[in-house]
Amino acid sequence: MADKFQAVVIGGGPGGYVCAIRLAQLGMKTACIESRGSLGGTCLNVGCIPSKSLLNLSEEFHKVKNLSNKGIEVGEVKLNLNKMMKSKEKAVTVLTKGVEFLLKKNDVTYFKGIGSFKSRNEISIKDVNKNEISIFAEKIIIATGSIPTSLPGIDFDEKIIVSSTGVLKLDKVPKKMVVVGGGYIGLEMGSVWSRLGAEVHVVEFLDHITPGMDKEISNEFMKILKKQGIKFHMQHKVDQITKKNSSAVISTTDKDGNKKDFDCEVVLVSVGRKPNTEGLNLEKIGLNLDDKNRISTDKNFKTNLNNIYAIGDVISGPMLAHKAEDEGIAVAENIAGQSGHVNYDTIPGVIYTTPEVASIGKTEEQLNDLNIKYKIGKFSFMANSRAKAIDDTEGFVKILADEKTDKVLGAHLIGPHAGELIAEIGIAMEFGASSEDIARTCHAHPTFSEAVKEAALSVDKRAIHS
């Protein structure tokens, strides 16, 4: 007899495994199906965690090489890429095993295999040896995430033409790397390989990097990355990538129609990701997709089929792990009859380069489009005592507040620990705080967070230290 569950989650990424744990916490007999052989999804296996490990290790390497400027003499600093990769792999293994432990602890049944729909309530699971079992579920949550997209006619070989997966495990530092796409992945991974010694060229279709980000921050970010040695080729469209022996030629056309070729040892194609619905057999059960092939859901994450829900990268919205997690919790609570909810106005985005870039709420461009009048408060890390003390003064904090009510509408940071500082603004926004509320909150001295307080003071033109 096939096993029966109250809820089954397909996909064990940050959306899926968090959802499964919450369902079990709420008393439901729950299973989670994952096909890749380890839990944690893109994020833990080939995304957030390995990339942040390499960002940290490459930053340490870069810093140690430059310590003598600060009076700390070190001997010759050498890179052992193999060991660095092992350190990254250790972080991945510890965390993915940790998720397996959490599922067990919460009594979630973990099935290793590919899940596909046999009917609206029956799922087939095929393991690596092609053995097949079926399980039944009252409610099914699809959390199958996303996969890298390429350009038309260009396939990843993960050695010369690499996706975000291949770029995390190169076995030597390329002399020259071309990054197609100046978004999150291109700039994070371009930074890693640039710090390790590669000459990095970013080829971007638009006239600015990180589309959707506040323009002022985006411009400052590009300026800083240029100073670090990354070369940018803006408004260049990639027409073709051809492999030549052990290198690649990237053929481009710029906005004026000029053709230019770039050659390199490795080309990273990071032009976005696409929802992963392949093999689920969705047509068979009549489940609707939207015009971008994402699963269509209502605001309660319900699809057009009454017992089937979807969350995370496979539905609309930013492709971020914390967004997937929060949706996982919200859908579980909705299924249990509670009022699960995600506030899409307060989802932070962080780019883990040096300096970090962090953003929440509306950008200036969005406020202008919406015709919302706003005030700006800005404070530079150049005037922050902690940043000065450790000579890490690049960047600034920018807070946008409603012109009349002073309610915080958005914040955009570039600078040291921006990814941590943004949490304070997230809480403020969740509680509907004004910039004055932040300004009147006592911040410890000397900390980077004082730059947030000063930016809030500056909304009302009363910053003290600038």
Catalytic residue numbers? 445
* DSSP letter string, 158-174: SSSEE-TTGGGS-SS--
Draw the binding track, 344-363, toward ligand NAD (x: CB under 6 A; -: no contact). ------xxx-----------
Measured CA distances, 78 to 64, 74, 171, 177 (Å): 10, 11, 16, 21
Residue 404 CA neighbour count, 13 Å, CB half: 2
Pick what 143 binds: ligand FAD, ligand NAD, none; C-beta below 5 to 8 Å, kind-dependent. ligand FAD
Pick what 20 binds: ligand FAD, ligand NAD, none; C-beta below 5 to 8 Å, kind-dependent. none
Give 10 or 428: the residue with its C-beta nearer to ligand FAD: 10
Give 268 or 438: the residue with its C-beta nearer to ligand FAD: 268
Pick what 14 binds: ligand FAD, ligand NAD, none; C-beta below 5 to 8 Å, kind-dependent. ligand FAD
Contact 395, 416 (CB under 8 A): yes
From the list 30-38, 123-131, 202-210, 432-440, the region that binds ligand NAD by CB under 6 A is 202-210
Which residue ranges make up the site for ligand FAD (CB under 6 A)? Answer: 10-16, 33-36, 41-43, 47-48, 51-52, 114-116, 143-146, 164, 185, 276, 279-280, 312-313, 319-322, 324, 352
What's the rounded Cα separation, in Å, for the pair 158 and 297?
34
Residue 255 as a binder of ligand NAD (CB under 6 A): the answer is no
Pick what 322 binds: ligand NAD, ligand FAD, none; C-beta below 5 to 8 Å, kind-dependent. ligand FAD
Residue 186 as a binder of ligand NAD (CB under 6 A): the answer is yes
Q: From the CB of 390, what's the least distance to ligand FAD, in Å?
A: 24
Give 18 or 367: the residue with its C-beta nearer to ligand FAD: 18
At 372, list the tokens.
């919302």
DSSP 354: S
Query: Quick check: helix, strand or coil at residue 31?
Result: strand
Alpha helices in 66-204 (DSSP H): 81-105, 184-195
What's the rounded Cα separation, in Å, for the pair 438 and 454?
9
Phi, psi of 310, rounded to the nearest 5 degrees: -145, 150
Pick what 312 binds: ligand NAD, ligand FAD, none; C-beta below 5 to 8 Å, kind-dependent. ligand FAD
Residue type, 355: P
Phi, psi of 209, rounded to the nearest 5 degrees: -90, 170
Residues 6+ apart with CB under 8 A from 220: 395, 396, 414
Options 11, 182, 410, 416; binder of ligand NAD; rule CB under 6 A: 182
Residue 206 as a binder of ligand NAD (CB under 6 A): the answer is yes
Chain positions contacting ligand NAD, by CB under 6 A:
151, 180-186, 188, 203-206, 211, 237-238, 270-273, 318-320, 350-352
